[in-house]
Structure 1
Amino acid sequence: MAELLQAASDLMAERGYDATTMAEIAARAGAKVGSLYRFFPNKEAIAETLLQQQMAVLHDEYEALAGRASTLLPEELADILIDLMVTRYPRVKSLPALMQARTDSVEIRNVSRAQAIQGISAALRVCAPALDEVVAKDIAAVVLNNMKVMLGMTLKEAPTTPGAPDELRRMNRLYLCARLDPWR
């Protein structure tokens, strides 16, 4: 089943949800299409399973980060956060395609963003315990946007130059140090 889901995720990331067929998923996984139907009655069931798995990956990443944020300096936390989307991308690369295919995509996207902001702000507040919750969410929103830009640069979907990712890392470090140090 894991191989079928991985094949589905890869195909949906490459081709999009609508262009991916059950037969292609089975072929990519090296399975017979009947095996795929034994686990999933249709493509929508696969998409729902993938969406739940990938949202859980994101949740787990933020929980783990918050669990260790008390041992991190603001600049260390900044580096981890700025690269978090890039490092987890292979595990959630079909998430945009999965969201786009749903009739409730706006709601799912809003839940995903809220989860990210909550996860980042939790890590910020562990790193800087006196940080106000509202301020933490504002900072988290800025950091989340920086994380998206870093992913875009890495995937060559955003304007970039060879040194731009390092400059974004520096900017993120300076920003988090300036914002978190007074609350530590």
Structure 2
Amino acid sequence: MSSNSSRVKRTPLEPLRATGRQRVEELLAAASDLMAERGYEATTMAEIAVRAGAKIGSLYRFFPNKEAVADALVQRHIAILEDEYAALARRAATLSPDALADVLIELLVTLHPRVKSLSALMEARTDKMEIRDRARRHAVTGIAAALRVCAPGLDDILAADIATVVLNIMKIFRSMIAKEAPTTPDAPDELRRMNRLYLSDRLAPFRPSQGT
């Protein structure tokens, strides 16, 4: 059975026993590693099973197809990011635009071990699920919330536009740190500086004046 041949309209099986839950954790960890290494499209169900040390039937028992695996990963990654963005929003009122820019640009680097396949899923090109759009939408929403706390006068539309730019900068920065994108020793610092200048310029008009 190929990785893309199973199109059964069935939801993933929720394991009830501890051994089943452990197996699902192992399968998802293997899938996350592979998708981070090879991309969503290139990863197959057979490879996921092999990496997890599981039989292919065990994988299909819990996940009917690769899209179901990806969906489970997206849900987990989004939950982790939502917690991080909520914590960041609580701090954002005390951060300058420069400080917020530094926290944001480092966020994907810091979280990468826990959400290592997120970038691959956001870049996935599939007409079977809205993987990319859903992951990006949640990321933009979380970043925009922090931006509006830092700059209360910012409207929702502009906040989403700025957040989209920042998200792409975050992804490029992580790729440079991981040596997955063309870089030089000082290029990440230049990108960090660019991000600070961009956020300072865009947020300054919407922040409370120092005299209030």
Q: TM-score range by the shorter chain?
A: 0.7 to 0.9
Q: Per the alignment, do residues 124 and 10 of structure 1 end up closer, same or farther by CA in structure 2, a change over 3 Å counting?
A: same
Partners of 2:42 and 2:182 lie apart in 1 by 28
Other-structure match for 2:196: 173
Structure number with higher relative contact order (C-alpha < 8 Å, ≥ 6 residues apart): 1
Other-structure match for 1:78: 101
When structure 1 is superposed on structure 2, of 93-102 and 150-159 the one drifting more is: 93-102
**2:126 aligns with one of 81, 87, 102:** 102
* Matched residue SS, 1:66: helix
| RMSD of equivalent CA atoms | 2.7
**1:87 aligns with one of 110, 114, 118:** 110
Please identify which structure carries the higher helix content.
1
Pair 1:25-2:48 in alignment: yes
Partners of 2:61 and 2:88 lie apart in 1 by 37
Partners of 1:174 and 1:56 lie apart in 2 by 30
When Rg is computed on C-alpha atoms for both structures, the one with the higher figure is: 2
Other-structure match for 1:126: 149
Counterpart amino acid of residue 95 in structure 2: L
Partners of 2:48 and 2:174 lie apart in 1 by 26
* Matched residue SS, 1:2: helix
Structure 1 position 45, deviation (Å): 2.9
TM-score, structure 2 length as denominator?
0.71
Structure 1 position 22, deviation (Å): 4.2
Alignment: residue pair count: 183
* Amino-acid identity (%): 67
Structure 1 residues 29-78: Cα deviation after superposition (integer angstroms, max 9, x where no partner): 34455544443344443232122222333333322211221222221111
Q: Output aligned runs, 1:2-81, within 5 Å.
A: 2-17=25-40, 19-81=42-104
Q: Per the alignment, do residues 19 and 163 of structure 1 end up closer, same or farther by CA in structure 2, a change over 3 Å counting?
A: closer
TM-score, structure 1 length as denominator?
0.80
Partners of 1:170 and 1:97 lie apart in 2 by 26
Structure 1 position 124, deviation (Å): 1.0
For structure 2, which runs of at least 5 residues remain unmatched after alignment? 1-23
Other-structure match for 2:164: 141
Partners of 2:69 and 2:108 lie apart in 1 by 23
Partners of 1:134 and 1:41 lie apart in 2 by 38
For structure 1, which runs of at least 5 residues remain unmatched after alignment? none
Partners of 1:174 and 1:95 lie apart in 2 by 27
